[in-house]
Structure 1
Amino acid sequence: MLTAALRPWAVTILFVAAILVGSLTGALAPATGSVIASVVDPSIMVLVGLLVFTLRLESLAALKRAPRTVLLALTFNFALVPVIAFCLTSLLLPDQALRLGVLIYCLFPCTDWFLGFTRMAGGDTTTGASLIPIQMSLQLVLYPVWLGLFGGQQVGNSPIEIAPTLVTWFAVPAGIALAARLFLWLCLAPTARERVVQAADSLVPLVIAVVIVGLFAGNVGTILADPAAFAWVLLVVFLFFVVVFVIVEGVARLFHLGYPSKALLTMTTSARNAPLMLAVTTIALPDQPVVYAAIILGMLIEFPHLTALTHLLRRQEKKQLDGATRASVTA
């Protein structure tokens, strides 16, 4: 998980560098770009395996700790966010491929680094950890449904036809990852197990960068054909984050959430699961570079946005503490 304030900026720089390397390679040496693009499929399987391997299933025991916060997070992420994303993309993105890419980016909540940002913001990480396996399971189940509902002409197969392909692609790396976790549990002490999981977690951004390089190296021509269109992607994702933040602020006040719960709700509704969705989409929608690019561009805004939210939440917490201190002094 993200544990240092500089890590989000480092990841953003890594992804920007991956886009530049892939784009330049594909534009200047198309043959080399095609070769590099061939690493996308195996890299995706590695990425899926790492994401499953780093899941903390033992955190499910914390669900009883804050049921209201869990229910609010799930309702927001899987009921309200789809409405917000659909309205924004329908109004501002006429291109169907771009609209679908941004929708896929926005629809699914993060199952990894949001917890690191929650920790940095002083939020409820125990409840946040319990959300991870639930949200990952829900989004994998809902992905074919959302794709069939929003995909339109971009989807050549029905959700029923897509589902077995997704199961095949994810069952193999997920099974290997779960077997490896079982091996760690049987053979290593808890401290050693945690070190191995953290090491695997630190590899996730690097594998994502490899996927990005391969996608851009193989598809840069299509992506750069209309650069102005991708400026709209950045605008829509930015507006999505603003609308979500404003609504979360209102929900937190309506339900009188304490600061730790509010910080958690803010982070889990702002962070999106772009790495997993990028992996799933390259399998479900082959040869759709515009869709992939829209998902990747969302990540470039997300990390600076989450960093800004961390500082904003910390300032809010400080104001609350200062206000409580002044009230106790005057009482």
Structure 2
Amino acid sequence: MLSSSSEPQLPGVTVTSVLLMASIALGALFGLLLPAGGQWLGERVDPTLLALVTLLFFGVRFGALVQAVGNLRFLGIALVANFLLVPWIGYCVASLFLADHPLIMVGLMIYFLSPCTDWFLGFTRLSGGNVSLGTALIPLNMAVQLLLYPWYLQWFTHNAVQVEAGMIGSTLLQWFLLPLVAAVVAHQLLRLCLGAARFERVLHRVDQATPWVIALLVMEIFAANISVLMAHRAVFVWVLLAVFAFFVLTFLLSEGISRLCRMRYPEHALLTMTVAARNAPLMLAITMAALPDQPLLYAALVIGMLVEFLHLTALRRLLLTARHRFPPAGSPPVDNGSAPFLGPEGVTSRSSPGRS
């Protein structure tokens, strides 16, 4: 992870990907060689989940919504794309590739349904997109996807897993609403007590810790469930193909919307990244709490998260290559100066003091 004063570089993406792959390998080896130890790790999932959720919520800037009032048109377009159009694309793709494997299909659907609430902003910055406007999408995407999660499961799972709306509601209250309130209160109190400069250092430490917590959770999943996952290893080739198809279709969607709405390049880059990036860490945490003992669902989410880094890196290059198609003059300058940098959802290197 780079410091906030450094120029963004792509190796941070590679480091995060390597960390996740290493956690999968270590968890799998541990579960195969020491099954009892793997089960012991699996019993530690709940506190790891709670720590991850709290860290993810702690860095969210809900105050950014107030600053985006003048961009309601773009926010509306992004919401329609992320929560109406992309879910149907995801459903069609998952149904096409994994209809014969309903549990894995549900995991893939959960991955497809939820737009990213942080790391897309780092890639938006690297692509020359509108970072300030993208900051407002973080709390908006998070709030809407948490509210829609129970309904999505009812609409798209087709009874592949037992889903009780009341149980999911109570789970969201216990595991997410209460940690959300606690994290936001702690965020505001620490910001007031420590001052802007010292609070930024706290946020930076949180940023550094979060990918390790995600890696620990992934290791626990694979250590406790490696036998089940190995029995279905051939199916995960289809998961990779489905994720690739989803990314291609969402790219075409963002291109079409941008042309139809005649967006400037900064908003085009932002829309492309928010439509492409998914909120795998938060969805993994929610799904493990709401749908326990479903390792195939969790594995589909983890695989999607790994492929996503490579896709967003390639997408950045495509955007920069096609930038000449947009008018070079006559548009306001792109705000690149106050963006969080790359990291998992809620994992950023912040560069501007006074965040709230």
SS in 2 for 1:36: helix
Offset of residue 294 of structure 1: 0.4
SS in 2 for 1:56: coil
C-alpha distance in 1, partners of 2:197/2:319? Answer: 32
Contact 1:148 1:155 in 2 (8 A): no
Q: Which residue of 2 aligns with 1:91?
A: 96
C-alpha distance in 1, partners of 2:257/2:265? Answer: 13
C-alpha distance in 2, partners of 1:109/1:20? Answer: 27
Tell me if 1:232 matches 2:227: no
Aligned residue among 38, 49, 55 for 1:50: 55
C-alpha distance in 1, partners of 2:325/2:26? Answer: 45
Q: Which amino acid aligns with 2:22?
A: A
Note the aligned Cα RMSD (angstroms).
1.6
C-alpha distance in 2, partners of 1:171/1:9? Answer: 32
Q: Which amino acid aligns with 2:281?
A: P
SS in 2 for 1:110: coil
Contact 2:153 2:163 in 1 (8 A): no
Tell me if 1:179 matches 2:149: no
C-alpha distance in 2, partners of 1:86/1:171? Answer: 27
Q: Which amino acid aligns with 1:85?
A: G
TM-score (norm 1): 0.93
Aligned residue among 8, 13, 30 for 1:25: 30
Offset of residue 234 of structure 1: 0.6
C-alpha distance in 2, partners of 1:264/1:104? Answer: 22
Q: Which residue of 2 aligns with 1:14?
A: 19
Contact 2:58 2:187 in 1 (8 A): yes
Where do 5+ consecutive residues of structure 2 fail to align?
3-7, 330-356
Offset of residue 324 of structure 1: 5.0
C-alpha distance in 2, partners of 1:84/1:152? Answer: 17
Aligned residue among 240, 255, 259 for 2:261: 255
C-alpha distance in 2, partners of 1:270/1:17? Answer: 25
Aligned residue among 274, 281, 284 for 2:287: 281
Contact 1:46 1:173 in 2 (8 A): no
Q: Which residue of 2 aligns with 1:305?
A: 311
Where do 5+ consecutive residues of structure 1 fail to align?
326-331
Tell me if 1:102 matches 2:108: yes
Offset of residue 172 of structure 1: 3.6
Q: Which moved more, 1:148-157 or 1:195-204?
A: 148-157
Offset of residue 217 of structure 1: 0.3
Q: Which residue of 2 aligns with 1:150?
A: 156
Q: Which residue of 2 aligns with 1:328?
A: none
Q: Which residue of 2 aligns with 1:125?
A: 131
SS in 2 for 1:22: helix
Q: Which amino acid aligns with 1:240?
A: F
Contact 2:167 2:290 in 1 (8 A): no
C-alpha distance in 2, partners of 1:62/1:301? Answer: 33
C-alpha distance in 2, partners of 1:62/1:260? Answer: 17
C-alpha distance in 1, partners of 2:63/2:181? Answer: 18
Contact 1:124 1:261 in 2 (8 A): yes
Q: Which residue of 2 aligns with 1:329?
A: none
Q: Which residue of 2 aligns with 1:290?
A: 296
C-alpha distance in 2, partners of 1:11/1:108? Answer: 20
Tell me if 1:81 matches 2:86: yes
Q: Which moved more, 1:2-11 or 1:266-275?
A: 2-11
Q: Which moved more, 1:246-255 or 1:136-145?
A: 246-255
C-alpha distance in 1, partners of 2:63/2:203? Answer: 13
Tell me if 1:188 matches 2:194: yes
Task: Give a deviation string over 1:90-119, Cα, whole Å, max 9, x none.
Answer: 111121001101000000000011111111
Contact 2:117 2:138 in 1 (8 A): yes
Offset of residue 158 of structure 1: 1.4
Q: Which moved more, 1:185-194 or 1:285-294?
A: 185-194
Aligned residue among 220, 231, 249 for 1:243: 249
Contact 2:42 2:221 in 1 (8 A): yes
Tell me if 1:137 matches 2:137: no
Contact 1:65 1:127 in 2 (8 A): no
Contact 1:51 1:201 in 2 (8 A): no
Alpha-carbon spacing, 1:216–1:310, altered in 2? closer, same or farther (3 Å): same
Offset of residue 68 of structure 1: 1.9
Offset of residue 180 of structure 1: 1.6
What is the number of equivalent residue pairs in this alignment? Answer: 323
Q: Which amino acid aligns with 1:315?
A: T
Offset of residue 185 of structure 1: 2.3
Q: Which residue of 2 aligns with 1:36?
A: 41
TM-score (norm 2): 0.87
